[in-house]
């Protein structure tokens, strides 16, 4: 696919909203009535989800803020597909296109100025609480920024990294952060911490969903997510230097919170309703000092609804491109990789292979575990099994697995500290046990039942007025 995603609309958040308004108005809804940022916004999002709506929602009037809130932008696969300019296509087609763009990253370009710095606030002008930052679930410790794309620079390599790590608001100029052990961001922060130096971190808020997808692309620590975001957007991301910290940020974002992480200091952060659908425990987490807030003249504040479709789809569906790459090294006969919704797009992975020799399935499962620390269950099936169907995969497990022979476990392995089944969920342990399951047909597998000739029968020839159910 050539050209910029979603031409002629600008490749930023407001451009994508304009595109939805004009081309797919059913994808977006505006709420003008005043809504409380404490449980009010999340209440509406939750009800919409329960009633089967996964629209993007713009809250135009959030109590206590003059700025609009853009929510649930990544809550449907269709919008993720639209984000990369695909009007049609299933998950496999989306992932094929996504993988092709991932393998053609585009370097960002420095520009003199950008809308993200139309307004610059420093010193006493800094008050992050003027934005419509929400409290989501009952036991959350407070307000959380949930869709901040945090940009940090590796002090050894100079390579920029981006991830979303949610931030509790401690005060008008202090934030917390959850830098899980599964993230590159954790490794980078620890490098500064070991040197006793403050770690610069720029929290980018409000951007095109293709920028989000590129930023959350699941790639090695030495690949620069700004280049990947460029690849996914099919356009070099324009960058401007921050005002107070040595980092460069997307010129066309809605806002940036320029911060440093204080060395050695910790403060209690969370509980917070997390992606597995349980509360992440209170942890002693780092503290961020806000040095400046820059934004457009009329910024759109954006959030993500963690623990719901919005959070799960984004950075969930796209993890399989990286897994497939590694699995292909271990097992050349791989025909597909799928992260099922039932595994919250993180914990479970189905792999289809065209098994030629014994041992291949286990090799494929091991490769998946090596790639993605979130994975806890990897199921490998034959290529004729539809891996987008939980029922078909369960059928393969039910009929083709002898547990003592076909499963293996990896105890004390690196996983998510938010995993409710970790070794110490209350303490936020990142150690988990993983299980690989070879659900392929083994040698001497009995023949499967089949009625000869049934494929050629036309039922309407035998039953008057027959139609398919
Ligand atoms: C809405 C949302 C919220 C997230 N919150 C966190 C978080 O609080 N902490 C974390 O470590 N990862 C979180 N993640 C996952 C990371 O952003 C994701 O794994 C990312 O690719 C990490 O990038 P990195 O490995 O380059 O640091 C979140 C993802 C999404 C989509
Ligand atoms: Mn990274």
Assess whether pLDDT exceeds 70 at residue 1.
Answer: no
The ligand with the least distance to the CA atom of 216 is 1
pLDDT digits (tens, 9 = 90+) for 203-261: 999 999 999 999 999 999 999 999 999 999 999 999 999 999 999 999 999 999 999 99
Distance 221 CA to ligand 1 centre (A): 14
The ligand with the least distance to the CA atom of 221 is 2
Assess whether pLDDT exceeds 60 at residue 6.
Answer: no
Q: How far apart are the first and last CA of the chain?
A: 38
Q: How far is CA 357 from CA 65, 331, 368, 390, 440, in A?
A: 62, 10, 19, 25, 11
What phi and psi values does residue 23 have, to the nearest 5 degrees?
A: -100, -30
- Would you say the CB of residue 214 lies under 6 angstroms from ligand 1? no
pLDDT digits (tens, 9 = 90+) for 413-429: 999 999 999 999 999 99
Query: Which of 367, 436, 437 is closest to 400 using CA atoms?
Result: 437
- Would you say the CB of residue 318 lies under 6 angstroms from ligand 1? no
What percent of the chain is helix, strand and coil (3-state, nearest 5)?
30, 25, 45
Assess whether pLDDT exceeds 50 at residue 3.
Answer: no
pLDDT digits (tens, 9 = 90+) for 257-303: 999 999 999 999 999 999 999 999 999 999 999 999 999 999 999 99
Q: How far is CA 462 from CA 268, 312, 450, 466, in A?
A: 71, 48, 21, 8
- Would you say the CB of residue 216 lies under 6 angstroms from ligand 1? yes
Do residues 313 and 201 touch, judged by C-beta distance below 8 A?
no
The ligand with the least distance to the CA atom of 179 is 1
How many Cβ atoms are within 10 Å of 39's Cβ, its own excluded? Answer: 16
Nearest CA to ligand 1 atom 20: 163
Please report the atom of ligand 1 found closest to the CA of residue 215. Answer: 21
pLDDT digits (tens, 9 = 90+) for 349-369: 999 999 999 999 999 999 999
The ligand with the least distance to the CA atom of 223 is 2
Nearest CA to ligand 1 atom 29: 164
- List of domains in the chain: 13-313 (2.30.110.10), 319-438 (3.40.1670.10)
Return the SS3 of 189.
Answer: helix
Pairing verdict, β 431-438 and 377-382? parallel
Please report the atom of ligand 1 found closest to the CA of residue 166. Answer: 8
- Would you say the CB of residue 304 lies under 6 angstroms from ligand 1? yes
Is pTM, for the whole model, over 0.85? yes
Assess whether pLDDT exceeds 80 at residue 347.
Answer: yes
Q: Omega before 8 cis (within 30°)?
A: yes
- Per the rule left: phi > 0, alpha: psi between -120 and 50, beta: everything else, 39 is left
Assess whether pLDDT exceeds 60 at residue 430.
Answer: yes
> Of the given ranges (161-175, 198-212, 310-324), which has the lowest mean pLDDT?
310-324
pLDDT for 2: 39
Q: How far is CA 113 from CA 238, 293, 396, in A?
A: 9, 16, 57
Pairing verdict, β 160-164 and 238-241? unpaired
- Would you say the CB of residue 306 lies under 6 angstroms from ligand 1? yes
Distance 222 CA to ligand 2 centre (A): 7
- Would you say the CB of residue 217 lies under 6 angstroms from ligand 1? no
Please report the atom of ligand 1 found closest to the CA of residue 212. Answer: 31
pLDDT digits (tens, 9 = 90+) for 126-150: 999 999 999 999 999 999 999 999 9
């Amino acid at each position: 696919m050539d050209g910029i995603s979603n031409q002629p609309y600008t490749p930023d958040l407001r451009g994508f909203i304009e595109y939805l308004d004009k081309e797919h108005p059913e994808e977006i809804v505006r709420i003008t009535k005043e809504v409380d940022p404490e449980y009010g916004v999340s209440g509406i999002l939750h009800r919409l989800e329960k009633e089967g709506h996964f629209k993007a929602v713009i809250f135009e009037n959030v109590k206590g803020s003059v700025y609009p809130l853009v929510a649930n932008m990544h809550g449907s696969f269709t919008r993720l597909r639209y984000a990369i300019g695909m009007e049609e296509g299933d998950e496999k087609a989306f992932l094929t296109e996504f993988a092709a763009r991932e393998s053609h990253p585009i370097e960002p370009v420095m520009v003199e100025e950008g809308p993200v710095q139309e307004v610059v606030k420093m010193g006493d002008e800094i008050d992050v609480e003027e934005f419509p930052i929400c409290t989501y679930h009952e036991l959350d410790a407070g307000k959380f920024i949930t869709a901040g794309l945090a940009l940090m620079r590796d002090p050894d390599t100079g390579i920029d990294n981006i991830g979303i790590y949610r931030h509790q608001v401690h005060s008008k100029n202090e934030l917390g952060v959850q830098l899980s052990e599964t993230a590159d961001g954790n490794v980078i922060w620890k490098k500064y911490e070991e040197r006793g130096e403050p770690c610069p971190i720029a929290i980018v808020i409000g951007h095109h969903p293709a920028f989000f997808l590129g930023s959350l692309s699941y790639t090695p620590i030495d690949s620069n997510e700004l280049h990947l975001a460029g690849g996914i957007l099919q356009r070099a991301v324009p960058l401007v230097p921050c005002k107070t910290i040595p980092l460069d940020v997307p010129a066309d974002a809605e806002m940036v919170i320029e911060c440093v992480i204080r060395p050695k200091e910790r403060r209690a952060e969370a509980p917070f309703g997390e992606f597995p659908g349980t509360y992440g425990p209170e942890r002693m987490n780092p503290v961020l000092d806000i040095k400046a807030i820059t934004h457009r003249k009329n910024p759109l504040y954006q959030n993500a609804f963690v623990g719901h479709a919005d959070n799960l789809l984004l950075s969930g569906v796209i993890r399989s491109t990286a897994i497939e790459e590694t699995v292909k090294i271990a097992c050349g006969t791989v025909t597909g990789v799928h992260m099922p919704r039932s595994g919250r797009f993180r914990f479970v992975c189905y792999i289809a292979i065209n098994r030629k020799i014994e041992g291949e399935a286990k090799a494929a499962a091991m490769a998946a575990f090596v790639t993605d620390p979130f994975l806890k269950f990897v199921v490998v099936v034959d290529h004729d099994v539809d891996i987008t169907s939980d029922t078909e995969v369960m059928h393969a497990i039910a009929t083709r697995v002898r547990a003592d022979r076909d499963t293996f476990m990896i105890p004390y392995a690196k996983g998510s500290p938010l995993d409710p089944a970790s070794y110490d969920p209350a303490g936020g342990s990142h150690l988990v046990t993983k299980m690989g399951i070879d659900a392929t047909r083994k040698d001497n597998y009995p023949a499967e039942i089949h009625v000869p000739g049934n494929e050629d029968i036309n039922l309407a020839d035998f039953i008057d007025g027959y139609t398919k159910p």
